[in-house]
Amino acid sequence: MPRERFGEDHTFLPRRAYLSFDEIQKVVDACKPVGLEKVRITGGEPLLRPNLEELVSSLKGSGVEVALTTNASLLAGQAERLAEAGLDRVTVSLDALDPKTHAQMTDSSIPVETVLDGIDAAVSAGLSPVKVNCVIQKGVNEDQVVPLVERFRGTGVTVRFIEYMDVGRTNGWQLAQVVPSADILDFLQKRFDLTPIDPINPSDVARRWAHSDGSGEIGFISSVSKPFCGDCVRARLSADGRLHTCLFSSGGHDLRAIINNDGNEQTLSDAIAAIWSRRDDRYSEIRSLETSVLPRVEMSYIGG
């Protein structure tokens, strides 16, 4: 959320425009008959939402797996109660251990130690396997790759390197800023003895490598160099009730009217199934100069 665009005078959505926990639950219940198994709560920053553990507990009541992606600035104080509410797993975004690079990339004064404390709290609360998502940008944080791997080796925390993507319009993305996963893997193989782990599901986005001495694993998400649109099974629900069938879609489908007008789970389920079955998104596979000018939702609206 760049400061120039989301400054102090920015008009954010009023709280009443957010889906309530009940409305989110209705969407999840309606998605279950059409195959939903996992829910990831992301953002924005999900830990800013008051009483998030109530949503976790209610979602768990539907029998889905519940995970969370967070910047961990508030995780240390919430990990235990989220775990008690039934949260299964946590992913933390951390692009650098170096304080200056971290401050530059997050444009915030939240210390790296606060994020590391949050990760420790998640491990202690049993929210495992805790994953750390790290987006590497050429010339910005490439020097953080080895320190991040070394910091989490032997801790049970998996570091995953994500290729920098052209999501939204505000990050000024250029292909030249992308560091391909293959380059990071080559680099790491010179320092660590790594062996590939066979994928479990075709929809697993990360390719996994293990330290041969059993001290943990590393993941690579190659969304730019090796797009996986064909195996993507993720639907994204925005805070104001829009269903996006792709990270790179524009407007999304407004579910709010159907959630509230009818109250009938079957109608909502049918509407979602209809949207999903018509989906033909494959932005990452057809990325080009022509597609790059199409409108796209910002990452801060649908959470990655």
Ligand X SMILES: C[S@@+](CC[C@H](N)C(=O)[O-])C[C@H]1O[C@@H](n2cnc3c(N)ncnc32)[C@H](O)[C@@H]1O
For residue 304, state whether it binds ligand X (rule: CB under 6 A).
yes
Kindly state the tokens that stand for 207.
């390719």
Count CA atoms closer than 13 A to 14's CA, side-chain side.
1
User: Which of 57, 58, 70, 144 is in the footprint of ligand X by CB under 6 A?
Assistant: 70
User: Which of 161, 164, 220, 283 is in the footprint of ligand X by CB under 6 A?
Assistant: 164
For residue 52, state whether it binds ligand X (rule: CB under 6 A).
no
Nearer to ligand X, 269 or 284 (CB): 284
User: Which of 57, 58, 78, 93 is in the footprint of ligand X by CB under 6 A?
Assistant: 93
Please provide the DSSP assignment of 76-113 as one string.
TTTHHHHHHHT--EEEEE---SSHHHHHHHHTS---HH
First to last CA, the chain: 13
Stretch that binds ligand X, among 23-31, 64-72, 119-127, 232-240 (CB under 6 A): 64-72
Residues in 125-154 that interact with ligand X by CB under 6 A? 133, 135
Q: State how far the alpha carbon of 229 is from the alpha carbons of 85, 95, 183, in Å.
A: 33, 25, 22
Stretch that binds ligand X, among 17-25, 159-167, 226-234, 289-297 (CB under 6 A): 159-167
Closest approach, Cβ 97 to ligand X, in A, equals 15
Nearer to ligand X, 101 or 267 (CB): 101
Q: How many separate helices (H) and strands (E) can be counted in the chain?
A: 10, 11
Nearest residue (beta carbon) to ligand X: 304
- H/E segment holding residue 256: helix 256-261
Nearer to ligand X, 3 or 191 (CB): 3
User: Which of 27, 36, 39, 69 is in the footprint of ligand X by CB under 6 A?
Assistant: 69
For residue 58, state whether it binds ligand X (rule: CB under 6 A).
no
Q: CA-to-CA distance for 62 and 76, rounded, in angstroms?
A: 27
E strand segments, the chain: 38-41, 65-70, 89-93, 131-136, 158-163, 194-197, 207-211, 217-221, 236-237, 242-244, 253-254
Residues in 73-92 that interact with ligand X by CB under 6 A? none
List, in order, residues 6 or more apart from 172 with CB less than 8 Å away: none
148 phi and psi, to 5 degrees? -65, -45
Nearer to ligand X, 227 or 303 (CB): 303
User: Which of 171, 225, 267, 291 is in the footprint of ligand X by CB under 6 A?
Assistant: 171
Instruction: List beta partners, residue 236.
Output: 244
Kindly state the tokens that stand for 25.
């639950």
User: Which of 1, 21, 25, 45 is in the footprint of ligand X by CB under 6 A?
Assistant: 45
Closest approach, Cβ 274 to ligand X, in A, equals 28
Closest approach, Cβ 20 to ligand X, in A, equals 20
According to DSSP, the β-strands at 217-221 and 158-163 are parallel
Q: Using CB under 6 A, count the residues that bind ligand X.
A: 17
For residue 252, state whether it binds ligand X (rule: CB under 6 A).
no
Closest approach, Cβ 186 to ligand X, in A, equals 20
**With b meaning 16 or more CB within 10 Å and e meaning fewer, what string describes 255-292?**
beebbeeeeeeeebbebbeebbeeeeeebbeebeeeee
For residue 165, state whether it binds ligand X (rule: CB under 6 A).
yes
Binding site for ligand X (CB under 6 A): 42-43, 45, 69-71, 93, 133, 135, 162, 164-165, 167, 171, 299, 303-304
